[in-house]
Amino acid sequence: MKKKQSISVKGVKFFQKQLDLLKAEQERSPLSASSLALYILMHLKCDDLGRIKGKEFSLSDFQQSGIPYTTLHTGKMVLLERGLIREVIINDLPSFEIVGYKELNSPEHRIEGEKLSYFRIPYELLTKPLLKCLVSAREAAGILLVLDLFNRFTRFIGKNQAEAMQASFTYTMKSLQEKTKKTALKIRHIINLIRDFFSFEACDYKERRPNKERVTVKKKNVIQIVIKKFKVCINPDLLLIEEDEHATKTLEAAFRKELTVKLENAGISYHSKELRDMLTAVKQEVINVMQFSTQQTFKERNRFIRNVFSSALDSLIDYYQLKSKENSNFTFGSIGSFMRKSLRSSMQSLVVVELDPGDRIEIASGYYERYRKYPVVFSN
């Protein structure tokens, strides 16, 4: 099967409606740069429902960005006051939630016929000084410009894979001034602050020489460079290039979302690490095994993987509900380990029913050749 190359911005979702909301709030009453920066940083830490558990919501963690704690705290207060985030109680535990994220990221909560519209912001925003620099300069408009640029590049790259690595856009100085409501001098300052993420190449400029008749002895005879137009490119290091012939990325994202929603609905508490452990178990016990199935189409293989996952998750929830009736304080010793055992049990049952002997032999052989051991489901 031919490998398919996929190129995208390496990061997390940021919904169009949230960007529109920020702009509307900015028009109504300007938001501080610190509040906009924290709002972005929360997207890099939240789960699929837009939440960060209270114990895990430490402003000191966001200091990786270089923004001081007190500045982040001020931003947090603004976000709470403006209703952009809120504190919620889930399973008797406090969490901070990005308002509207759950509805935007959950198909069952969206309005019928409404399309999912989002772009991606890179993980590097958490560790690179871009946001720190814009906050220090009090450039809220600069932060919104960064979001606009990621929005435009994400959408172009998604629709034009062949041109992704050479993607560029042209902006006039006038359009940047209208977008940010800043002077040309301020625009050039913002461009300098965000240069690690976007390059701005002057492609239309002219020299403005002083009028000799108006030059006085007090004023230096300075030649000004007036830039009219820029060619803007995204830093290629922010792009993720994948060659995945098995195309499981979308499937894994769906599993993460399903785990988040179903565990919450069942009242099962878990930490971020435990969620990662469960997803790792799915990858290792099911996806990595089924990648060696060549007698199934991608659609058949993905359906089989989903059936195993759904069966295992249902078993985990049923077990929790049974034990909770016996002991209201019941918790899993290791929910990741339990999920792994459930996956193996479901896999063993479904392999016999849904895969023919020839495919099972091929899967076991391919797995052994890659990992020098047989998958657990075939080792008994």
Task: Report the amino acid identity of residue 162.
Answer: A
* Angstrom distance (rounded) from CA 215 to CA 221: 7
Q: Are residues 215 and 266 in the same domain?
A: no
| pLDDT above 90 as % of the chain | 55
Q: Which helix (H) or strand (E) holds 170?
A: strand 168-172
- Cβ–Cβ contacts within 10 Å for residue 11, how many? 21
Mean pLDDT, residues 14-35:
96
Residue 111: predicted pLDDT: 53
Q: Are residues 66 and 158 in the same domain?
A: yes
Q: Are residues 26 and 174 in the same domain?
A: yes
Does residue 149 sit within a domain?
yes
* Angstrom distance (rounded) from CA 53 to CA 61: 13
Residue 2: predicted pLDDT: 45
| pLDDT above 70 as % of the chain | 88
Q: Are residues 161 and 219 in the same domain?
A: yes
Does residue 1 sit within a domain?
no
Q: Are residues 232 and 253 in the same domain?
A: no
* Angstrom distance (rounded) from CA 342 to CA 340: 5
Residue 53: predicted pLDDT: 82
Q: Rounded to two decimals, what is the model's pTM? A: 0.75
Mean pLDDT, residues 141-158:
95
Helix (H, G, I), strand (E, B) or coil at 339: helix
Total structural domains within the chain:
2
Residue 337: predicted pLDDT: 95
Helix (H, G, I), strand (E, B) or coil at 198: strand
62: pLDDT confidence band, cut at 50, 70 and 90?
confident
Q: Are residues 276 and 356 in the same domain?
A: yes
Q: Are 144 and 170 in contact (CB under 8 A)?
A: no
Does residue 161 sit within a domain?
yes
Helix (H, G, I), strand (E, B) or coil at 93: strand
Q: Are residues 285 and 202 in the same domain?
A: no
Q: What is the DSSP string of 291-309?
A: TT--SS-HHHHHHHHHHHH
Q: Are residues 219 and 118 in the same domain?
A: yes
16-20, 109-113, 233-237, 372-376: which range is least confident on average? 109-113
- Quick check: 1 pLDDT over 50? no
110-119, 215-224, 350-359: which range is least confident on average? 215-224
- How are beta strands 118-122 and 11-15 bridged, if at all? antiparallel
Token output for 27: 């028009």
- Quick check: 163 pLDDT over 70? yes
Burial class (CB in 10 A: 0-12, 13-18, 19+), 360: middle
The range of the structural domain enclosing residue 196 comes to 6-239
Q: Are residues 231 and 247 in the same domain?
A: no
Q: Are 109 and 103 in contact (CB under 8 A)?
A: yes
Mean pLDDT, residues 284-312:
88
Helix (H, G, I), strand (E, B) or coil at 83: coil
Residue 13: predicted pLDDT: 92
What mean pLDDT is reported for the chain? 87
- Domain end, chosen from 239, 260, 279, is at 239
Any idea which residue has 């929910």 for tokens? 335
pLDDT tens for residues 81-102? 999 999 998 877 888 999 999 8
Does residue 85 sit within a domain?
yes
Q: Which ranges of the chain does DSSP label H, i.e. alpha helix? A: 16-28, 33-43, 69-81, 101-105, 130-136, 140-159, 173-180, 184-193, 249-265, 272-282, 288-290, 298-326, 335-354, 357-371
301: pLDDT confidence band, cut at 50, 70 and 90?
confident
* Angstrom distance (rounded) from CA 119 to CA 15: 6
Q: Are residues 276 and 367 in the same domain?
A: yes
Q: What angle do CA 122, 128, 132 make, to 5 degrees?
A: 110
Torsion angles phi and psi, residue 152, rounded to 5: -70, -45
Any idea which residue has 């199935």 for tokens? 293
Tell which residue, 243, 261, 254, 318, has the closest CA to residue 282: 254
Mean pLDDT, residues 358-371:
88
Burial class (CB in 10 A: 0-12, 13-18, 19+), 346: buried
Does residue 173 sit within a domain?
yes
Q: Which sign, positive or negative, has the C-alpha torsion 87, 89, 93, 95?
A: negative
Q: Are residues 230 and 189 in the same domain?
A: yes
- Domain end, chosen from 239, 259, 290, is at 239
Residue 219: predicted pLDDT: 54
pLDDT tens for residues 209-223? 666 665 555 555 665
- Quick check: 76 pLDDT over 90? yes
CATH of the domain at 371: 1.10.472
Query: What angle, rounded to 10 degrees, do the helices at 272-282 and 249-265 form?
Result: 130
Mean pLDDT, residues 281-296:
89
Any idea which residue has 């010793």 for tokens? 333
- Cβ–Cβ contacts within 10 Å for residue 290, how many? 23
Helix (H, G, I), strand (E, B) or coil at 180: helix
- Cβ–Cβ contacts within 10 Å for residue 322, how many? 10
* 149 or 241, which is more confident: 149
Q: Are residues 228 and 357 in the same domain?
A: no
Q: Which sign, positive or negative, has the C-alpha torsion 80, 84, 90, 95?
A: negative
- Domain end, chosen from 239, 258, 292, is at 239
Residue 292: predicted pLDDT: 87
